[in-house]
Amino acid sequence: MKRVSAVFLLTLCAATALAETYVRIEKDGSKTYSDRPLPGGQPVDIQPAQTYSAPPAPEIGGTNSNLPREQQLLKEMNDFRYASCVLTPKNDETFQNPTSVSVAVALQPALRPADVVELRVDGAAAPAPGALAFVISQPSRGSHTASVVIKDRYGKTMCNANTTFHVFRASVNSPARR
Per-residue pLDDT of the chain (178 residues; tens, 9 = 90+): 455 454 444 555 555 555 688 899 999 999 998 888 889 888 988 888 888 888 876 665 555 567 788 887 777 767 778 888 999 999 999 999 999 999 999 999 988 888 899 999 998 888 888 888 889 999 999 999 999 999 988 888 889 999 999 999 887 676 655 5
Say if CB 148 and CB 129 are below 8 A apart: no
DSSP the chain: -HHHHHHHHHHHHHHHHHS-EEEEE-TTS-EEEESS--TT-EEE-PPPPP---PPPPPPSSS--TTS-HHHHHHHHHHH---SEEEEESPTTEEEES-SEEEEEEEEESPPPTT-EEEEEETTEEPSSTT-SEEEEESPPSEEEEEEEEEE-TTS-EEEEEEEEEEEE---TT-TT--
Residue-level pLDDT at 28:
94
Tell which residue, 117, 97, 106, has the closest CA to residue 169: 97
Residue-level pLDDT at 113:
86
Name the phi and psi angles at 116, rounded to 5: -110, 130
In this structure, which CATH number among 1.10.3720.10, 2.60.40.10, 3.40.630.30, 3.20.20.140 belongs to the domain 82-168? 2.60.40.10
Residue-level pLDDT at 174:
61
Residue-level pLDDT at 60:
55
Q: Long-range contacts of range 28-31, CB-CB < 8 Å, 24 or more positions apart?
A: none
For the chain, what are the domain ranges? 1-45, 82-168
Residue-level pLDDT at 33:
87
